[in-house]
A and B are shown apart, each in its own frame.
Chain A
């Protein structure tokens, strides 16, 4: 008889065996049974081999075969064994070398903390003035002039320039507002007097700089005798009541009606320290001399907002001669060659240094230093 090289025991018995055996047991037990089966098959033929095989399967129905001992197949839990081991070992090492562990962990913590603080600071610096919705379109009017062969750059502008920008170059701007520099003023109400930083500015400003109004509207500087207070200044002067409609004194020589209260600007805004905005006309009314200064005396700041359809470079190139065109009859002013341009709000804080008519950066240096 040709020996069958690959005889197979009854499938059902074999299947039953692998069904009731635990995974750990099944391979060796089934292997033994198959080996025995093959031997018996070769010695005594299929029928006897089948018979004994079934008997063996039944004899294997014992607790040892069902019980799950050590699991050989990696379970979800088992895959973490290595990681758990690492954690345990590192934990023990840390406990054994407490001094070094302290230095190591403390150093890492300090490093992470400093990195986080620097990141926060950089973020804060890079988003400076972003609280103002139109920050991309707001600019400050700057002026270059040349004296003794050196070009200087300043933000102080003559009184007549604002009207010139409005009338001659008006279609390049959505807002042109004149403003006095921010300075300490005495605000008094009843017998209360407080020193507050503030400025006088034209009516477009609250809308331009997107004031968040608590009381009143952002149109509050329309009236020549009006003032808008920051929430903190309002609280200082009036407590928790709504101050709109109250009249207060500025420097004891200007009377102004409170027309609105706006939320304080956050620390990373150029207006964060400015606690009141009073009507420009109020300032003009006590400083009538300003209106007669024409293009040759520079003392105020002009803020503009350009439409999104244009950009600062193109507007700057259009308005560059706005002063020069009006002082051509004065030789010394022509020699200074005043050139007007716009400095975008996004750069006020970080790019505020000028050398020989070129922006040389500023605080941005420290941002790059840390980055």
Chain B
């Protein structure tokens, strides 16, 4: 398995956020989708790990006053990251088909 469950969620969140994917925003969208508050440490840890794996690239933004002049780090999905997401989903779907009475569809 190339992606952990949490890592997959983070990747999805970064992809969904487009150009606005930085720490707090990712944390908030995850909170919104899962309904559970991910720890900021776990989130950052996953982001760095995904960057090391080549699923994400990062870029530093401008300084902001609300952060005491600290810069945001914006993340972006790479082609490899997208490919991994597709593969993970394919795997899930192929397994799901073998489960009788389970009907997974994407609309």
Contacts and interface: CB of A to CB of B under 8 A. Distances in A.
B18 to A, nearest CB: 18
Contact of B39 (A28, A56, A63): A56
A34 B70 contact: yes
B70 A28 contact: yes
Interface in A27-47: 27-36, 38-39
A30 B44 CA distance: 11
Chain A interface, >50% SS class = helix
B24 interface: yes
Contact of B23 (A32, A61, A69): A32
| Highest count of chain A CB atoms <10 Å: which of B22, B49, B66 | B66
B36 interface: no
A69 B41 CA distance: 17
Contacts, number: 72
B68 A59 contact: no
B44 A29 contact: yes
Give the interface size bracket for A toward B: 20 to 34
A367 interface: no
B44 A32 contact: yes
Interface in A46-91: 55-56, 58-65, 69
A25 interface: yes
Interface residues of B, number: 21
Contact of A62 (B45, B67, B70): B45
B71 interface: yes
Nearest to B67: A31
Nearest to B42: A59
Interface string B54-80: 000000100010111011110000000
A48 B7 CA distance: 29
Interface in B14-48: 22-24, 27, 39-42, 44-45, 48
Nearest to A59: B41
A203 B43 CA distance: 102
B56 to A, nearest CB: 13
B96 to A, nearest CB: 33
A56 B39 CA distance: 7
A65 B67 contact: no
Contacts of A38: 66
Nearest to B73: A28
Interface in A149-206: none
B40 A56 contact: yes
Interface string B73-105: 100000000000000000000000000000000
Contacts of A33: 40
A34 B69 CA distance: 10
A63 B66 CA distance: 27
A62 B44 CA distance: 9
A59 to B, nearest CB: 3
Contacts of B64: 31, 35
B45 A31 contact: no
Nearest to A72: B60
B41 A31 contact: no
B66 A35 contact: yes
| Highest count of chain A CB atoms <10 Å: which of B39, B44, B60, B72 | B44
B98 to A, nearest CB: 37
A312 B45 CA distance: 90
B76 to A, nearest CB: 15
Contacts of A55: 39
Interface of B: 22-24, 27, 39-42, 44-45, 48-49, 60, 64, 66-68, 70-73
12 contacts: A25-B48, A27-B71, A28-B73, A30-B68, A31-B64, A33-B40, A36-B40, A38-B66, A59-B39, A59-B40, A59-B42, A69-B48
